[in-house]
A and B are shown apart, each in its own frame.
Chain A
Amino acid sequence: MKKLLVLFLLSHLVSCQEKRTIRPVFLQPEIQTVRINQDQLIFKVQGENWSGLVQTPAQTLYPSLSYQGNLLLVNITAPNGVIEGPAILTLQSDNDTHHFSFEIKNPTQKVELVDLRSPKTVNVDSSLYQQQILYSVDPSGNLAELAPGVFFKENQLKVQPKTGTFPSLNGSPISSFYVAPGTVESIHLDYTIDASHTKFQIMAGPLYDQNQNLISDGTQISFLIKKGLRTERIEALVRAGYSYLDLSMNEWNQAQIQAAIAHVVSQELKIQKP
Chain B
Amino acid sequence: MGEQQQILWSDFLGKRLLLVALSLGLLTHGIIVYFTLPQTYDAYVHMFFADHYARFWFEPWEYRWYTGFLTVSYPPLVHQLLALISKIFPLKIAFSIYAVAVFEALIIGVYRFTKIFYSKQTAGVAAILAVILSSLVETLHVYGQVPTLTGMAFLLNSLPFLYQFIKTTDGRYLTMALAFIAVVVSSHHVTAIFGMVFFIAPTLLMALVDSTPELGKKSLFGRFLPDLLLLAWTKKKGIILFGLATIAMAILLIFPYWYWSKTDPISQVSIPHGSRDNFFEETSSGLVFYIIPLLLIFALIPAISYLITRKKRHLGWAVSFYACLLLGSGGTTPLPKLLLGETAFNILTLDRFGFWASIIAIPYMSRFLLSFIAGNAKIFWVKKHSETSHFLLSGISGLSYLLFIIYIFHLASFRPLQPKAVEIEPIINFLNRDDHMRWRFLTLGFGDQMAWLSSNTLAATIDGNYHSARRLPEMTSRAVERLENAKYLLDDGMASLNDFLTKSEKYQLKYVFSNDRYYDPLLFFSGWNRTIRLENGIMVWEKGNISTIQPVQPKELHPLLKKAWGILPVSTVFLAALLTGLYLLYFKKSQTEIRSEEIEDHFPSLIIHPSAWLPFVIFTGFITYQIYELLLIDEFKDPATVIYSYYDDLDFQRFEQAFQFFKPGPEYSLDQYLLEKSVSDGGLLPSFAKLDSIHIDTLRIAENSAKMQVSSTWRTSLGKRRKEEVLDLEKIHHQWFIIPSKPEIEIPEEQVISYTYTLFKKMGKRAVSSFPTVKDDRIKKPFAAFYQANLIQSQAGLHVTGELINADNIPISLALKAVLTFENDSTATLFPQRNFQYNLAPKASTWFQISLGNQPLEGKNKLRSISLELETDISERGYIRGGNLSYELIKDSTTETQFQIKMSNPFTSEITIPGVLIAERDSLGRVLQVDLQVHPRSIRSGLEASFEVSVPVSTPTTRVLTQVPIQLKINGQDRKAIPNPSQSNERLSLLPHCFLAQEIYLQ
Residues of B close to A233: CB separation below 8 A: 884-887, 990-992
From B756, B776, B811, B991, name the one whose CB has the most chain A CB atoms within 10 angstroms.
B776
Instruction: Pick the residue among A120, A230, A237, A263 that contacts B888 (CB under 8 A).
Output: A230
B976 CB, min distance to chain A CBs, angstroms: 15
- Per-position contact with A for B843-879: 1 when CB-CB < 8 Å, else 0? 1110000000000000000000000000000000010
B760 adjacent to A260 (CB under 8 Å): no
Also in contact, A220 and B843, with CB within 8 A (given A123-B808, A262-B982): yes
Which chain A residues (170-185) contact chain B, with CB distance < 8 Å?
173-175, 180-181, 183
Residues of B close to A237: CB separation below 8 A: 756, 758, 841
A239 to B881, CA, bound (A): 17
From B780, B783, B805, B881, name the one whose CB has the most chain A CB atoms within 10 angstroms.
B780
A sample of 22 inter-chain contacts (CB < 8 A) reads A116-B776, A120-B776, A120-B778, A120-B780, A125-B807, A174-B774, A175-B776, A181-B809, A183-B843, A215-B809, A216-B809, A219-B842, A219-B843, A220-B843, A221-B843, A229-B889, A231-B886, A232-B884, A233-B884, A234-B885, A237-B758, A262-B807
Q: Does B882 contact A (CB under 8 A)?
A: yes
Residues of A close to B811: CB separation below 8 A: 218
Q: Does A103 contact B (CB under 8 A)?
A: no
A265 adjacent to B981 (CB under 8 Å): yes
B842 adjacent to A218 (CB under 8 Å): yes
A239 adjacent to B888 (CB under 8 Å): no
B758 adjacent to A239 (CB under 8 Å): yes
Q: Does B766 contact A (CB under 8 A)?
A: yes
Also in contact, A174 and B766, with CB within 8 A (given A219-B842, A262-B843, A264-B982): yes
- Per-position contact with B for A257-269: 1 when CB-CB < 8 Å, else 0? 0001111110000
Residues of A close to B878: CB separation below 8 A: 218
Q: Does B980 contact A (CB under 8 A)?
A: yes
Residue in chain B with minimal CB distance to A163: B809
Which chain A residues (201-243) contact chain B, with CB distance < 8 Å?
215-221, 229-235, 237, 239
Residues of A close to B844: CB separation below 8 A: 220, 235
Residues of chain A at the chain B interface (Cβ within 8 Å):
116, 119-121, 123, 125-126, 173-175, 180-181, 183, 215-221, 229-235, 237, 239, 260-265
B886 adjacent to A230 (CB under 8 Å): yes
A217 adjacent to B758 (CB under 8 Å): yes
A215 to B842, CA, bound (A): 10
Residue in chain B with minimal CB distance to A225: B886
Residue in chain A with minimal CB distance to B887: A231
Residue in chain B with minimal CB distance to A228: B888
B982 adjacent to A265 (CB under 8 Å): yes
Residues of A close to B665: CB separation below 8 A: none
A244 CB, min distance to chain B CBs, angstroms: 10
Residues of A close to B981: CB separation below 8 A: 263, 265
B843 adjacent to A232 (CB under 8 Å): no
B809 adjacent to A262 (CB under 8 Å): no
Also in contact, A232 and B809, with CB within 8 A (given A261-B843, A263-B979): no
Also in contact, A234 and B884, with CB within 8 A (given A220-B841, A262-B845): yes
Q: Does B679 contact A (CB under 8 A)?
A: no
Residues of A close to B808: CB separation below 8 A: 123, 180
B939 CB, min distance to chain A CBs, angstroms: 15
A229 to B844, CA, bound (A): 25
B809 adjacent to A180 (CB under 8 Å): yes
Residues of A close to B982: CB separation below 8 A: 260, 262-265
A89 to B844, CA, bound (A): 65
Residue in chain B with minimal CB distance to A173: B766
A47 to B407, CA, bound (A): 83
Apart from the given pairs A183-B807, A263-B981, 6 other A-B contacts in the complex at a CB distance below 8 Å? A220-B843, A231-B886, A232-B885, A232-B886, A237-B756, A260-B982
Residues of B close to A230: CB separation below 8 A: 886-888
Residue in chain B with minimal CB distance to A217: B758
Q: Does B724 contact A (CB under 8 A)?
A: no
B324 CB, min distance to chain A CBs, angstroms: 67
A221 to B843, CA, bound (A): 8
A234 to B756, CA, bound (A): 15
A231 adjacent to B888 (CB under 8 Å): yes
Residue in chain A with minimal CB distance to B767: A174
Residues of B close to A116: CB separation below 8 A: 775-776
Also in contact, A239 and B756, with CB within 8 A (given A123-B809, A262-B807): yes
Residues of B close to A263: CB separation below 8 A: 805, 978-982
A117 CB, min distance to chain B CBs, angstroms: 9
A215 to B808, CA, bound (A): 11
Q: Does B777 contact A (CB under 8 A)?
A: yes
A255 to B758, CA, bound (A): 28
- Per-position contact with A for B883-927: 1 when CB-CB < 8 Å, else 0? 011111100000000000000000000000000000000000000
A4 CB, min distance to chain B CBs, angstroms: 57
Residues of B close to A123: CB separation below 8 A: 783, 808-809
A237 to B756, CA, bound (A): 9
A223 CB, min distance to chain B CBs, angstroms: 9
A217 to B981, CA, bound (A): 23
A265 to B990, CA, bound (A): 17
Residues of A close to B990: CB separation below 8 A: 233
Residues of A close to B886: CB separation below 8 A: 230-233
B540 CB, min distance to chain A CBs, angstroms: 24
A97 to B731, CA, bound (A): 104
A234 to B774, CA, bound (A): 41
Residues of A close to B776: CB separation below 8 A: 116, 120, 174-175
Also in contact, A218 and B780, with CB within 8 A (given A233-B885, A235-B881, A263-B979): no
A232 to B783, CA, bound (A): 29
From A123, A218, A221, name the one whose CB has the most chain B CB atoms within 10 angstroms.
A218
B908 CB, min distance to chain A CBs, angstroms: 15
Which chain B residues (942-997) contact chain A, with CB distance < 8 Å?
978-982, 990-992
Residues of A close to B978: CB separation below 8 A: 263
Residues of B close to A181: CB separation below 8 A: 809
A231 to B980, CA, bound (A): 21
B758 adjacent to A121 (CB under 8 Å): no
Residues of A close to B842: CB separation below 8 A: 216, 218-220
A235 adjacent to B980 (CB under 8 Å): no
B843 adjacent to A174 (CB under 8 Å): no
A237 to B878, CA, bound (A): 11
A214 CB, min distance to chain B CBs, angstroms: 11
B789 CB, min distance to chain A CBs, angstroms: 16
Residues of A close to B810: CB separation below 8 A: 216, 218
Residues of A close to B760: CB separation below 8 A: 218
A270 to B470, CA, bound (A): 64
Residue in chain A with minimal CB distance to B844: A220
A-B residue pairs, 6 tightest by C-beta = A216-B809, A218-B758, A232-B886, A220-B844, A220-B841, A265-B982
A264 to B983, CA, bound (A): 10
A220 to B806, CA, bound (A): 10
A89 to B328, CA, bound (A): 79
Also in contact, A219 and B809, with CB within 8 A (given A234-B884, A263-B981): yes
B185 CB, min distance to chain A CBs, angstroms: 53
Residues of B close to A235: CB separation below 8 A: 841, 844, 881-882, 884-885, 992
- Per-position contact with A for B745-761: 1 when CB-CB < 8 Å, else 0? 00000000000101010
From A175, A215, A234, A265, name the one whose CB has the most chain B CB atoms within 10 angstroms.
A234
Residues of B close to A229: CB separation below 8 A: 888-889
Which chain B residues (459-479) contact chain A, with CB distance < 8 Å?
none
B271 CB, min distance to chain A CBs, angstroms: 46
Residue in chain A with minimal CB distance to B778: A120
Residue in chain B with minimal CB distance to A245: B884
A116 to B777, CA, bound (A): 11
Residue in chain B with minimal CB distance to A233: B885
A217 to B756, CA, bound (A): 11
Residue in chain B with minimal CB distance to A116: B775
Residues of A close to B887: CB separation below 8 A: 230-233
A133 to B775, CA, bound (A): 12
B120 CB, min distance to chain A CBs, angstroms: 72
- Per-position contact with A for B810-853: 1 when CB-CB < 8 Å, else 0? 11000000000000000000000000000001111100000000
